[in-house]
């Protein structure tokens, strides 16, 4: 029996010695870097490697020495990170444990403060003093980076919370449920009022936007529309928006809006004229308030593109003529069919609270020339950036990702 007691005492002493030794052994800078950012470095390296391999496999030009350097850098980043994680395993584990302890201390202190504030009437003065004392010890150890003291402080505060606030502590299931619910509410709020994703289904905005582009749209720039119940109203009812006067749509901007003839459909076009403007098309040339929009031939590669015929479910290769238009200081690309026959539309004065829109693919766009202007309250937002793109003939269009909508 005496031998067993001595063995237990020796084990406790050894554990304390090991804890002090770990606390005294400061991980090197490289170990701290790997411990804090290994996941990020591996993801970045893997993405670089995959993109490089895909471009080489798909023969996306230009395949140059720079591309091979890019591929090598991505693969090297992954390999070096994994190698250092293995070689410095002991030090990296210390960094990971310390980071976890700091995170746990933040959560426990937050829980203690909330419990002391919300349940002060159910705690005796002695219980409140014990909780505050344990929290103070933990804060002191955390701020001084006393890692052994931090571990002891975590256990002490956790024990006091169990003793005095067990009735208020959240179960693991409740914590996960609340976290998921908050994440869902934030996502719904962002989608309703801030940013929404849209997919381009047709070629009416080629070359600015291709079939298969996925874009983010700024939904609050022209005012805010509550998502319920007005989104469910029948056509002909008002679609109220608030704060529309703070920032009105401007000429040259690309907008997403509810199609006035069928508000269940979303369209995307470019604003050519705003309220009070007179717009006219003469032989494919746009005039705003009697002045022609600058329309110059585009230099560079032959004008051709792939369009998707939704009715037949097929891709079509088309030839075109490219131009660079400038409207109110905004320069953007437009196209006409090859050997396009000039067409004209009579002057239209845009009513108050409306905009006149056209597609950049002028001969293949169903827009205000055919069905009239778009009321402000039907505008959902301004197109911002292409975040994903896929379509014929390339498949995944890596070069379009991250492109701003001009």
pLDDT exceeds cutoff 50 at 4: no
Same domain, 161 and 205: no
Q: What is the number of residues in the chain?
A: 406
- Candidates 219, 258, 269, 382; catalytic one: 269
Task: Tell me if 105 is assigned to some domain.
Answer: yes
Same domain, 283 and 373: yes
Task: Tell me if 186 is assigned to some domain.
Answer: no
CA–CA separation, 129 vs 133, rounded Å? 6
CA–CA separation, 365 vs 285, rounded Å? 15
Q: What is the DSSP string of 342-389?
A: P--EEEEEPPTTEEEEE-SBGGG--SHHHH--EEGGGEEEEEEEEEEE
Same domain, 372 and 258: yes
Q: What is the DSSP string of 260-326?
A: TTEEEEEEEEEEEEETT-EEEEETTEEEETTEEPEEEEPPSS--EEEEEETTTTEEEEEEEEEEEEE
Higher pLDDT, 198 or 20: 198
Tokens of 263: 């508000």
Residue 179 is a catalytic residue: no
Tokens of 136: 């103070």
Per the CB < 8 A criterion, the answer to whether 298 and 324 are in contact is yes
Residue 204 is a catalytic residue: yes
Give the mean pLDDT of 362-371. Answer: 94
Tokens 């994440």 found at: 183
Q: What is the largest CA-CA distance in the chain?
A: 107
Task: Tell me if 151 is assigned to some domain.
Answer: yes
161-177 exposure pattern, b = at least 16 Cβ within 10 A, e = fewer: beebbeeeeeeeeeeee
pLDDT exceeds cutoff 90 at 275: yes
Same domain, 229 and 88: no
pLDDT exceeds cutoff 70 at 300: yes
Same domain, 158 and 198: no
| Residue 134 burial by Cβ neighbours in a 10 Å radius (0-12, 13-18, 19+) | buried
Same domain, 224 and 333: yes
CA–CA separation, 279 vs 348, rounded Å? 5
Structurally, the chain folds into a number of domains equal to 2
Ramachandran area for residue 146 (φ above 0: left; ψ -120 to 50: alpha; else beta): beta
Same domain, 114 and 263: no
CA–CA separation, 285 vs 362, rounded Å? 10
pTM of the model: 0.62
Same domain, 281 and 387: yes
Same domain, 316 and 386: yes
Same domain, 248 and 393: yes
Q: Which residue segment(s) compose the domain that 140 sits in?
A: 21-167
Same domain, 126 and 256: no
Task: Tell me if 178 is assigned to some domain.
Answer: no
Question: What digits encode the pLDDT tens for the residues 161-209?
Answer: 888 888 877 766 777 787 788 888 887 777 777 788 999 988 999 999 9
Say how many C-beta atoms besides its own lie within 10 A of residue 38's C-beta: 17
Same domain, 108 and 207: no
pLDDT computed for residue 140 by the predictor: 92
Per the CB < 8 A criterion, the answer to whether 154 and 105 are in contact is yes
pLDDT exceeds cutoff 90 at 286: yes
Q: Which neighbouring-strand residues pair with 242?
A: 224
Task: Tell me if 181 is assigned to some domain.
Answer: no
Task: Tell me if 141 is assigned to some domain.
Answer: yes
Give the mean pLDDT of 57-83. Answer: 80
Q: For position 368, which CATH number holds?
A: 2.10.109.10
Q: How far is CA 123 from CA 75, 113, 116, 127, 153, in A?
A: 58, 13, 8, 6, 21
**Range with the lowest mean pLDDT among 66-75, 235-244, 280-289, 311-320?**
235-244
Per the CB < 8 A criterion, the answer to whether 213 and 198 are in contact is no
| Nearest Cα to Cα of residue 307 among 317, 322, 298 | 317
- Candidates 204, 365, 368, 389; catalytic one: 204
pLDDT computed for residue 2 by the predictor: 42
CA–CA separation, 390 vs 367, rounded Å? 25
Residues of the chain above pLDDT 70, percent? 85
CA–CA separation, 378 vs 186, rounded Å? 24
pLDDT computed for residue 250 by the predictor: 94
Confidence band of 239 (pLDDT split at 50, 70, 90):
low
Task: Tell me if 175 is assigned to some domain.
Answer: no
Task: Tell me if 128 is assigned to some domain.
Answer: yes
């Amino acid at each position: 029996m005496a031998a067993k007691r001595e063995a237990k005492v020796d084990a406790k002493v050894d554990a304390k010695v090991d804890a002090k030794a770990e606390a005294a052994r400061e991980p090197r800078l490289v170990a701290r870097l790997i411990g804090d950012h290994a996941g990020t470095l591996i993801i970045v390296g893997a993405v670089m490697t995959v993109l490089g391999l895909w471009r080489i496999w798909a023969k996306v030009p230009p395949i140059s020495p720079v591309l091979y350097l890019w591929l090598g850098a991505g693969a090297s980043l992954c390999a070096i990170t994994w190698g250092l994680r293995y070689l410095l395993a002991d030090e990296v584990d210390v960094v990971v444990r310390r980071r976890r302890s700091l995170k746990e201390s933040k959560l426990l202190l937050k829980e203690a403060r909330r419990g002391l504030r919300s349940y002060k009437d159910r705690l005796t003065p002695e219980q409140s003093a014990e909780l505050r004392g344990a929290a103070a010890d933990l804060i002191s150890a955390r701020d001084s980076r006393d890692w052994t003291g931090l571990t002891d402080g975590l256990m002490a505060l956790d024990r006091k919370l169990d003793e005095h606030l067990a009735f208020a502590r959240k179960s693991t299931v409740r914590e996960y449920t609340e976290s998921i619910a908050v994440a869902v509410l934030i996502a719904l709020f962002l989608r309703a009022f801030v940013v929404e994703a849209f997919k381009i289904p047709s070629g009416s905005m080629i070359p600015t936007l291709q079939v298969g582009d996925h874009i983010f749209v700024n939904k609050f720039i022209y005012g805010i529309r509550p998502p319920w119940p007005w989104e469910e109203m029948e056509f002909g009812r008002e679609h109220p928006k608030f704060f529309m006067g703070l920032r009105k749509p401007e000429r040259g901007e690309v907008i997403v809006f509810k199609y006035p003839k069928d508000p269940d459909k979303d369209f995307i076009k470019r604003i050519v004229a705003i309220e009070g403007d007179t717009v006219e098309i003469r032989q494919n040339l746009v005039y705003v308030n009697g002045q022609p929009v600058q329309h110059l031939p585009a230099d560079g590669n032959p004008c051709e593109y792939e369009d998707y015929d939704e009715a037949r479910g097929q891709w079509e290769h088309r030839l075109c003529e490219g131009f660079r238009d400038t409207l109110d200081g905004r320069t953007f690309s437009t196209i006409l069919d090859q050997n396009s026959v000039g067409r004209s539309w009579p002057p239209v004065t845009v009513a108050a609270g409306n905009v006149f829109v056209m597609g950049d693919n002028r001969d293949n766009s169903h827009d205000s020339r055919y069905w009239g202007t778009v009321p402000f309250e039907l505008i959902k937002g301004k197109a911002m950036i292409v975040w994903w793109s896929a379509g014929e003939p390339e498949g995944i269009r890596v070069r379009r990702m991250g492109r701003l909508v001009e």
